């Protein structure tokens, strides 16, 4: 959780967002139309492009009911049918809905699910009606089309994130609840502008109007009896109830009735943070929207699948990158005196100690010099991990290796042997563990990783509190899909080189 001094949404962003509320067409409709046009272009190019590649420009016929010789249909007709059906299932599965676009993995999952189900139906149709499809036509169109759709959505997501960073293309949120809960939820929403919730005001149990929440620039529009008026004055389109102690059930119900259907929305934020979507299930019981939060599981098939993935990928990378690893080893050995590899004891799964491998990027007596550097300027707010932007112990070649994270490559052997994973929390030193609060020890419920959420979210630029929060979020919500996304973001972070020193 961020402190009260967190930098919140600027008044200029609020002003732009409020002005945009006068538009007769919501941002979600505009964005959905753009996604539709992009999907249309991608599928048009892929389906008819595959047809031309596979059959050429001559019209090819598809046999239907070949055994009896009843019908022959042009592949152009089949391409039109698949093209139209593909666009339709993307709409039916809600892949352009404002609740799934912009953040998270749900948008990508829906696209993949819709695509696979469509081609499953095509396969069933071909079997039942004895349609003799050219297999190459289908086997090329399916993966290329899916890849094209996912890439296009990823590109639009980058564009949307940039817009949302400026306060555009976002739901305009009025927070309602106690001052403490409003401030807490606001800090989480402001930390992730790409989620699309722009906080423009609050209603709290106070008689102050025109004041701001402590430590923020979020204006207070009145007490909890003035919510409807505040909604009108602020131009908000979404009410987020952050606590229900001050609002009885009947008052919440009346508030929901007062909203304009289709344009204004009601969101109830429970007192839960850092909980992944797959663990949350809503179940209405007797009119009560009960939220079920599954307990994290670290055993069974998921753990087996993660270990299998680690062994396969690390083994493959070791084989493929072996010439590169040997070249780095030679450069390290020839550039400065000392061993090629740096072995350091770290704390891993269930608190077990192991030797973590890295290419040596420091002078031989780096550990002995550490005590003399403890009082030097360090990363502000990082009271546990020692990080120094211009560490004098780093060798010239070591600085280059660290800049591109090449010094971490020997940890592939740690992964292959089982002491580490490709993705996981950062493996700490024993002196760091001695300073842990009790809840931080949950990091040891999974294996430490070469990369993880903290590495792709700022690396050494993060405070200790943010590092812990990201690592614990991973521990509580890890999945193979999430691992794939973190690995992809790792590649981007390495290229950007932000926070690496």
Using the predicted structure, report yes or no on whether residue 238 has a pLDDT greater than 50.
Answer: yes
Above pLDDT 90, what percent of the chain?
Answer: 27
User: What's the confidence (pLDDT) of residue 273?
Assistant: 65
Distance of alpha carbon 40 from alpha carbon 259, whole angstroms: 35
pLDDT digits (tens, 9 = 90+) for 13-50: 443 444 344 343 588 889 999 999 999 999 999 998 88
Q: What's 429's DSSP letter?
A: P
- Measured from the Cβ of residue 445, the count of other Cβ atoms closer than 10 Å reads 15
Pick from 93-102, 204-213, 335-344: least confident: 204-213
More confident residue, 279 or 79: 79
Using the predicted structure, report yes or no on whether residue 419 has a pLDDT greater than 50.
Answer: yes
Using the predicted structure, report yes or no on whether residue 60 has a pLDDT greater than 80.
Answer: no
Q: Which of 108, 480, 458 is nearest to 307 (CA)?
A: 480
Mean pLDDT is highest, among 132-146, 170-184, 371-385, for: 170-184
pLDDT tier, 335 (very low <50, low <70, confident <90, very high otherwise): confident
The three-class DSSP label of residue 207 is coil
pLDDT digits (tens, 9 = 90+) for 264-320: 888 888 766 666 666 676 777 766 677 777 667 777 788 899 999 999 999 999 999
Tokens 């003799």 belong to 132
The three-class DSSP label of residue 128 is helix
* Mean of pLDDT values over 114-142: 81
Q: Which of 356, 319, 323 is nearest to 341 (CA)?
A: 356
Pick from 61-65, 169-173, 206-210, 212-216: least confident: 61-65
Using the predicted structure, report yes or no on whether residue 180 has a pLDDT greater than 90.
Answer: no
Q: What mean pLDDT value characterizes the chain?
A: 80
State residue 282 phi and psi, 5-degree precision.
Answer: -100, 130
User: What's the confidence (pLDDT) of residue 366?
Assistant: 67
* Mean of pLDDT values over 4-16: 40
pLDDT digits (tens, 9 = 90+) for 435-454: 888 888 888 989 999 998 88
Indicate the domain borders of the chain.
27-165, 170-271, 301-496
Q: How far apart are the first and last CA of the chain?
A: 26
**Beta-strand runs (E) in 235-304:** 238-241, 265-268, 280-285, 288-293
User: What's the confidence (pLDDT) of residue 382?
Assistant: 54
User: What's the confidence (pLDDT) of residue 21?
Assistant: 40
User: What's the confidence (pLDDT) of residue 127?
Assistant: 77
**CATH classification for the domain delimited by 170-271, as one of 3.40.50.720, 3.80.10.10, 3.40.50.2000, 3.40.50.20:** 3.40.50.720
Distance of alpha carbon 332 from alpha carbon 310, whole angstroms: 27
Distance of alpha carbon 142 from alpha carbon 188, whole angstroms: 39
User: What's the confidence (pLDDT) of residue 287?
Assistant: 66
More confident residue, 210 or 191: 191
pTM of the predicted model, to two decimals?
0.66
Tokens 């979600």 belong to 28
More confident residue, 301 or 91: 91
Report whether 414 contacts 437 (CB < 8 A). Answer: no
Pick from 3-7, 57-61, 80-84, 468-472: least confident: 3-7
Q: What is the DSSP string of 335-393?
A: HSSS-SEEEEEEE-GGG-EEEEEEE--B-TTHHHHHHHHTTS---TT-SSS---TT-TT
Using the predicted structure, report yes or no on whether residue 55 has a pLDDT greater than 50.
Answer: yes
pLDDT tier, 153 (very low <50, low <70, confident <90, very high otherwise): very high
More confident residue, 481 or 82: 82
* Mean of pLDDT values over 60-85: 67
* Mean of pLDDT values over 254-272: 81
Using the predicted structure, report yes or no on whether residue 58 has a pLDDT greater than 70.
Answer: no
pLDDT digits (tens, 9 = 90+) for 102-117: 887 789 989 999 999 9
Cα–Cα distances (Å) from 31 to 160, 169, 195, in that order, read 9, 8, 15
Burial 226-257 (b: 16+ CB within 10 A, else e): ebeebbeebbbbbbbbbbbebbeeeebeebee
β-bridge partners, 341: 359
More confident residue, 287 or 416: 416
The three-class DSSP label of residue 131 is strand
Q: Which of 366, 311, 345, 499 is nearest to 429 (CA)?
A: 345
User: What's the confidence (pLDDT) of residue 373?
Assistant: 65
The three-class DSSP label of residue 465 is helix
β-bridge partners, 73: 62
User: What's the confidence (pLDDT) of residue 62?
Assistant: 53
**Beta-strand runs (E) in 187-339:** 197-203, 238-241, 265-268, 280-285, 288-293
Using the predicted structure, report yes or no on whether residue 348 has a pLDDT greater than 70.
Answer: yes
User: What's the confidence (pLDDT) of residue 23?
Assistant: 40
């Amino acid at each position: 959780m961020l402190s009260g001094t967190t930098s919140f949404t600027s008044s200029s962003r609020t002003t732009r967002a409020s002005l945009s509320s006068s538009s007769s067409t919501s941002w979600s409709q505009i964005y959905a139309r753009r996604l539709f046009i992009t999907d249309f272009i991608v599928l048009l190019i892929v389906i008819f492009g595959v047809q031309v590649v596979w059959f050429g420009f001559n019209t090819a016929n598809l046999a239907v009911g070949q055994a009896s010789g009843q019908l022959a249909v042009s592949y152009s007709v089949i391409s039109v049918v698949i093209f139209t059906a593909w666009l339709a299932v993307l709409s039916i599965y809600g892949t352009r809905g404002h609740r799934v676009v912009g953040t998270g993995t749900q948008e990508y999952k829906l696209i993949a699910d819709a695509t696979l189900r469509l081609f499953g139906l095509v396969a069933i149709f071909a079997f039942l009606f004895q349609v003799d499809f050219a297999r190459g036509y289908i086997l090329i169109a399916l993966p290329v089309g899916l890849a094209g759709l996912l890439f296009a959505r990823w590109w639009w997501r980058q564009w949307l994130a940039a817009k949302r960073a400026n306060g555009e293309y976002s739901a305009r949120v009025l927070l309602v609840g106690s001052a403490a809960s409003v401030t807490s939820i606001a800090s989480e929403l402001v930390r992730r502008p790409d989620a699309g919730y722009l906080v423009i005001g609050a209603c709290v149990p106070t008689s102050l109007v025109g004041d701001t929440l402590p430590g923020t620039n979020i204006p207070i529009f009145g007490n909890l009896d003035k919510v409807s008026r505040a909604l009108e004055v602020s131009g908000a389109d979404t009410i987020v109830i952050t606590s229900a102690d001050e609002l009885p059930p009947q008052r919440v119900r009346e508030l929901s009735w007062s909203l304009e259907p289709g344009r204004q929305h009601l969101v109830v934020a429970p007192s839960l943070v850092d909980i992944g979507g797959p663990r949350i299930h809503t179940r209405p019981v007797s009119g009560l929207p009960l939220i079920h939060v599954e307990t994290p599981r670290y055993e069974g098939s998921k753990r087996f699948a993660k270990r299998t993935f680690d062994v396969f990928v690390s083994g493959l990378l070791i084989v493929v990158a072996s010439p590169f690893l040997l070249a780095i080893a030679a450069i390290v050995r020839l550039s400065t005196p000392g061993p090629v590899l740096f072995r350091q004891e770290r704390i891993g799964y269930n608190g077990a100690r192991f030797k973590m491998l890295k290419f040596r990027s420091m002078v031989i007596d780096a550990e002995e010099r550490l005590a003399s550097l403890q009082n030097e300027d360090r990363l502000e707010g990082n009271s546990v991990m020692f990080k120094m932007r211009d560490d004098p112990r780093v060798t010239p070649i070591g600085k280059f290796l660290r800049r591109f994270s090449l010094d971490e490559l020997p940890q592939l052997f740690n992964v292959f042997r089982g002491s580490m994973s490709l993705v996981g929390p950062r493996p700490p030193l024993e002196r760091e563990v001695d300073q842990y609060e009790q809840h931080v020890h949950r990091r040891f419920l999974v294996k430490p990783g070469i990369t993880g959420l903290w590495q792709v979210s700022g690396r050494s630029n993060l405070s200790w509190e943010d590092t812990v929060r990201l690592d614990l979020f991973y521990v509580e919500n890890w999945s193979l899909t999430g691992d794939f996304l973190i690995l992809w973001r790792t590649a981007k972070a390495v290229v950007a080189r932000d926070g690496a020193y």
